[in-house]
Amino acid sequence: MKIYRFLSEDDSSKFCHKVTEALSKGWELYGDPTYAHDATVGVMRCGQAIVKEVAGEYSPEMKLGEQ
C-alpha cells in the first residue's frame, strides 16, 4: 500500500531537515514543492508531498510519520 504525507514548515533550514529526515526513512518526493506567504505571521511557508510503500492495510488510526 502507498501512504501519503504533506510536510510543511516555515521557509528555513528546518523545512529542509524535515524533508531530508523523511527521505532517509524511505519516503519519496511526490510532485513539486510549494511556497506561500502566511500573512498572519508574515513568513513564507514551504510544503512538500511525500509517499512511501508499506506493508499492511490502511487504517485511519495509522501514525503516518512513524511508518
- 64 within domain boundaries: no
Task: Confirm if 3 and 27 have CB atoms less than 8 A apart.
Answer: no
The reported pLDDT for the residue numbered 67 is: 86
Q: Which residues have CB under 8 Å from 18's CB, separation 6+?
A: 7, 9
Q: The whole model's pTM is what?
A: 0.88
Domain count, the chain: 1
The reported pLDDT for the residue numbered 42 is: 95
The reported pLDDT for the residue numbered 19 is: 97
- 63 within domain boundaries: no
Residue-wise pLDDT for 9-66, tens only, equals: 999 999 999 999 999 999 999 999 999 999 999 999 999 999 999 999 998 998 988 8
Query: Residue 26's domain spans which residues?
Result: 2-56
- 16 within domain boundaries: yes
